[in-house]
Amino acid sequence: MHKIRNLFFLILVPLFLSAQPEGKIQNVLLIMSDDLKASALSIYGDKICKTPNLDRLASTSMIFDRAYCQGLACYPSRPSMMQSIYPGSKKKPVTLGEHLQKFDMHTSRVGKIFHMGVPNSPRNGDSGLDVPACWTEFHNTKSPETYTHGLYRQMNRGIATRKMEGRQGIGTKERYWAAVEADVNDGSDQADYLVAEKAVQLIRERKEAGKPFFMGVGFFRPHYPMVAPKKFFDMYPLEKIQIPPLIDGDLNDIPQAAYGNMGHGLNETEEGRRGMWQAYYASVTFMDEQLGKVLDELDRQGLSDSTAIFFTTDHGYHLGEHGFWQKSNLHEEVTRVPLMIRAPGLKPGRTRSLAELVDLYPTCTDLLGIPEAKGIVGKSLVPILENSETTVRDTALSLHNERHIKRKGAGIRSKNWAYMNYGEHGEVLYDMNKDPHQYTNLVNDPKYAVIVRTARLQLEDRLEEVK
């Protein structure tokens, strides 16, 4: 009897989805950037970076000011989001794409949604650690990455050359600090251009098919090596870039376990630090241009009124704040991510409600009217989309537990506080209202002893969800 009921349900739901009236959400477009820090975007307060297409999307979306990743690197973060489980969990729910396929949705991927090693995967055109079962179809792209024709710079060593010989590519730490001002003006040899081109084609095909779809569009930039056409670098003259200050004694009040990557010499030269910001901005703006092509095609095909759009990234990024670089600790620049959700039929707005990337899975199914998958830990953000003042979570959990990390830790972000616990190596507490840039660790201040104890208990409770 149960089998008959389930069969009836599986038949009924696809019919319901395909028969929804115009204006109802039938499709979902998940657009991801890579290594994109929220604070580098104009919608989050940056005064320099140019992202007209993201701004356009934001104007019709709910913007989340307090969205947080669960893993601090690409590999733990992306599968965590696509399965709605915390990194390190033994749970094995089906991926979002597999779940949607059960309800007759076409699922497709172009570019990086699950983890792909960069620059390895775009150089080779392979799928990296993608989960093929998640997709009805998937497509990879190839690009020359560091070996793009143009001016190559290695920021931590002060190298600038047009020669191909000696460039740092796959498998070296020096690739972290490499950028190329590409000669090809439209970027048509780059992965993100090709991702957008393929996404446009897939949108046209989905329109012709007339079947509900879920599409993942994964851009690679601004992930290193930061490669973009020269014209995007020219938008950001080095002398006009403002870099974070390096303050003597800044790190004296936090344990060494809370340190991030110190940049392999980047902190020793202002020119190198400015160059990193320039390359990052250029890469973001190049990615934004490609994003615009996807949004335009959705409009052109008349699908915007029936398609929900999620835009986010896998984690944030340090660009010299406190002397830290990349994504190697639990500070706000790493754990906070940009997130905007456009849901046709719901008003755009802005919210300070806490959200996690694991919440995107149940939010997607909720918007589509599809039952929630078993075993997931995320919570639907639809109540927030309906009312920006709604609270879904009291805390947001982030984990620093990658296999190669020796100083493992975990942190929670609450309404007013950021707390990080590195076990025997120490703790950190910041007042996010008075100290949003995280300069003063309060964990040893007796005045905050109650708050520290409360944060410890909150984190302990949240870690039970990881199992």
pLDDT tens for each residue of 173-214: 778 999 999 999 999 999 999 999 999 999 999 999 999 999
Longest dimension (CA), the chain: 72
Q: What percent of the chain has pLDDT over 70?
A: 94
Mean pLDDT for 296-325 is 98
Q: How far is CA 31 from CA 10, 309, 367, 462, in A?
A: 28, 7, 16, 28
Count CB atoms within 10 A of the CB of residue 203: 24
> What is the pLDDT at residue 402?
73
Would you place residue 405 in the very low, low, confident or very high pLDDT band (cuts 50, 70, 90)?
A: low
pLDDT at 3 over 60: no
pLDDT at 39 over 90: yes
**Residue 354 backbone zone (phi > 0: left; psi -120 to 50: alpha; other: beta):** beta
pLDDT at 2 over 90: no
C-alpha–C-alpha distance, residues 109 and 128, integer Å: 13
pLDDT at 328 over 90: no
> What is the pLDDT at residue 16?
41
> What is the pLDDT at residue 200?
98
Mean pLDDT for 208-227 is 97
Q: Which domains does the chain have, with CATH numbers?
A: 27-395 (3.40.720.10)
C-alpha–C-alpha distance, residues 230 and 44, integer Å: 26
Of residues 210 and 402, more confidently modeled: 210
pLDDT at 320 over 90: yes
pLDDT at 220 over 80: yes
pLDDT tens for each residue of 127-173: 999 999 999 999 999 999 999 999 999 999 999 999 999 898 766 77
pLDDT tens for each residue of 275-287: 999 999 999 999 9
C-alpha–C-alpha distance, residues 344 and 308, integer Å: 6
Of residues 291 and 402, more confidently modeled: 291
> What is the pLDDT at residue 174?
79
> What is the pLDDT at residue 401?
84
C-alpha–C-alpha distance, residues 146 and 150, integer Å: 10
Would you place residue 454 in the very low, low, confident or very high pLDDT band (cuts 50, 70, 90)?
A: very high
C-alpha–C-alpha distance, residues 407 and 123, integer Å: 32
Amino acid making up residue 330:
L
The answer to whether 362 touches 72, Cβ cutoff 8 Å, is: no
The answer to whether 29 touches 308, Cβ cutoff 8 Å, is: yes
The CA radius of gyration of the chain, in Å to the nearest whole number, is 22
Would you place residue 20 in the very low, low, confident or very high pLDDT band (cuts 50, 70, 90)?
A: very low
3-state secondary structure of 34: coil
pLDDT tens for each residue of 40-65: 999 999 999 999 999 999 999 999 99
Q: What percent of the chain has pLDDT over 90?
A: 91
> What is the pLDDT at residue 1?
39
> What is the pLDDT at residue 169?
73
Mean pLDDT of all residues in the chain?
A: 93
The answer to whether 238 touches 259, Cβ cutoff 8 Å, is: no
Do the strands 396-400 and 137-139 form a parallel or antiparallel pair, or are they unpaired? unpaired
C-alpha–C-alpha distance, residues 90 and 63, integer Å: 32
**Token couple for 29:** 């477009």
Q: Residue 128's closest CA among 143, 117, 139? A: 117
**Residue 60 backbone zone (phi > 0: left; psi -120 to 50: alpha; other: beta):** alpha
**Token couple for 406:** 């020796």
What's the start-to-end Cα distance of the chain, in Å?
34
